Amino acid sequence: MKVNSMEFRISMTSPDLDATEVEFNCPLCGFENTATLGEVLGRETHICARCGRVIRLEDEGDSLARKVDEINRRVEDLDKIIGRYNR
């Protein structure tokens, strides 16, 4: 019986950025709330866990969106590096 050598390949699945938690303070009571990146980027509303105020999640100047772009670029770079080792 011929035994093949075992070969492992590393694959990198992109982290689920939309589900990543983001913390922000309620503009009314200052309570630290947690939303997801997807909610912020989608400019959804969030209800403060302490005072119940409806907060519109505003990504001012798209600063968060830019960070996400940057992370995605780095993940792609990492994919390329891992690909080199799998060759």
Q: Which is nearer to Zn ion, 1 or 54 (CB)?
A: 54
Q: How far apart are the first and last CA of the chain?
A: 27
Out of 12, 19, 47, 51, name the contact with Zn ion by CB under 5 A.
51
In whole angstroms, the minimum distance from the beta carbon of 12 to Zn ion comes to 38
Does position 29 interact with Zn ion (CB under 5 A)? The reply is yes
CB of 55 to Zn ion, least distance (A): 8
CA distance linking residue 18 with residue 39, whole number of Å: 8
The residues that bridge with 32 in the sheet, in sequence order, are 25
**Residues in a beta bridge with 54:** 47
Q: Which of 20, 11, 15, 23 is nearest to 72 (CA)?
A: 15
Q: Does 50 bind Zn ion (CB under 5 A)?
A: yes
Interface positions with Zn ion (CB under 5 A): 26, 28-29, 31, 48, 50-51, 53
